[in-house]
Amino acid sequence: MIELERYVQYFRDVDFTPSGTSICRSTDRGVYLPSNPVHILIGLSCLLEAGAISKSDKFLDAGSGDGRVTIGASLLGLDATGVEYDPHLIALARYHATQINVNPTFLQGDFTSDETFYPGNFTDFGVVYNFINNERDIAAKIANESPVGTKFVLYGHMDDKTLPGLDYQFGFKHHDFKTPVNPISPRIGIFHIYRKLPAKRALAPAARL
Ligand SMILES: C[S@@+](CC[C@H](N)C(=O)[O-])C[C@H]1O[C@@H](n2cnc3c(N)ncnc32)[C@H](O)[C@@H]1O
């Protein structure tokens, strides 16, 4: 428990800039905006408790930013990997992991490219997380390549919950009104859970009576 509290305080300190400026910025693939560390721990714990994800699934944060989701997932006992295009954020993530005393894997590259995962495979991951940034690209990769049953956890607001090839399972919302004076990560966390379905088979023609 102390470990989890330290994790939350650590990333709240990371997010705090005395000038009140945001640490959000553009990267060569998207926008860096960190998840709220409280939402990460509570969201992933609820998913584990509900059996929606399992510790036997390899966990991937697609677009891992400064590594906080991957590090939080490691603290909760998941076999976690983060993939991020921006090399400075990858270096930062590796530094944060040493500060929190966990040892997840961080891969630098584009999450839509299979080369990024070499010598592993994208299809090894049973749970993929994304904080709405190019979420349709990663959802399409799961739908096209991952084994049936692969879970997709989407964090953040989204009105249209339809993702081709994936089945929407459920969603939940968590509020964090304790976020300090200089909040840059969302106070309201919304999680949507999807699952890859078997390909639809053509129906056999009805037998003639
Ligand atoms: C909104 S931030 C989320 C960071 C982290 N997952 C979190 O929740 O704190 C999205 C990150 O995804 C990265 N990203 C977006 N598209 C990507 C891609 N195709 N390949 C690798 N990284 C990508 C961006 O560079 C950015 O750092």
189: left (phi over 0), alpha (psi -120 to 50) or beta: beta
User: Residue 203 Cα, ligand 1 centroid: separation in angstroms?
Assistant: 40
Give yes or no for a contact between 184 and 22, defined as CB atoms under 8 angstroms apart.
Answer: yes
Nearest CA residue ID for atom 8, ligand 1? 35
Average pLDDT of span 127-144: 96
Query: Tell me, what's the pLDDT at 116?
Result: 98
Q: Per the CATH hierarchy, to which homologous superfamily does domain 2-196 belong?
A: Vaccinia Virus protein VP39 (3.40.50.150)
> In the chain, what are the helix, strand and coil shares in percent, each to the nearest 5?
30, 25, 45
Mean pLDDT of the chain: 90
Model pLDDT, residue 24: 81
Q: Which ligand 1 atom sits closest to the C-alpha of 155? A: 8
User: pLDDT-derived band of residue 79, with 50, 70 and 90 as boundaries?
Assistant: very high
Ligand 1 pocket, CB under 6 A: 27, 29-35, 61, 63-65, 68-69, 83-86, 89, 110-112, 131, 133-134
Residues 200, 162 contacting (CB under 8 angstroms): no
> For 97-126, what is the mean pLDDT?
98
Q: Hey, whose CA ends up nearest to atom 12 of ligand 1? A: 63
Res. 179 pLDDT band, cuts 50 70 90: low
Q: Exposed, middle or buried: residue 6 (CB in 10 Å: 0-12, 13-18, 19+)?
A: middle
* Contact in structure between 154 and 192 (CB atoms under 8 Å): yes
Tens digit of each residue's pLDDT (9 = 90 or more) over 48-60:
999 999 999 999 9
Would strands 105-108 and 125-131 be described as parallel, antiparallel, or unpaired?
Answer: unpaired
The pTM (predicted TM-score) of the whole model is: 0.92
Cα torsion angle, 115, 164, 50, 46, sign: positive
Question: Residues for the chain: how many in total?
Answer: 209
Q: Among 66-80, 129-143, 166-180, which is the least confidently predicted range?
A: 166-180
Q: Mean of the pLDDT values across residues 1-19?
A: 86
pLDDT digits 0-9 by tens, 139-174: 999 999 999 999 999 998 777 889 999 999 999 888
Q: Is 151 exposed, middle or buried (0-12, 13-18, 19+ CB in 10 A)?
A: buried
pLDDT at residue 209 above 60? Answer: no
CA nearest ligand 1 atom 26, residue: 32
What is the Å distance from ligand 1's center to 65 Cα? 5
pLDDT in the model for residue 158: 76
Q: How far does the centroid of ligand 1 lie from the alpha carbon of residue 92, in Å? A: 13
Determine the residue of 40, 41, 84 to mutate for testing ligand 1's pocket, defined as the one with the most ligand atoms within 8 A of the Cβ atom.
Answer: 84
Span from the CA of 27 to the centroid of ligand 1 (angstroms): 8
Using the mean position of ligand 1's atoms as its centre, give its distance from the Cα of residue 136 in Å: 13
Please answer whether residues 100 and 75 qualify as being in contact, where contact means their C-beta atoms are separated by less than 8 angstroms.
yes
CA gap 61, 153 in Å, rounded? 9
Expressed in angstroms and rounded, the spacing between residue 209 Cα and the centre of ligand 1 is: 57
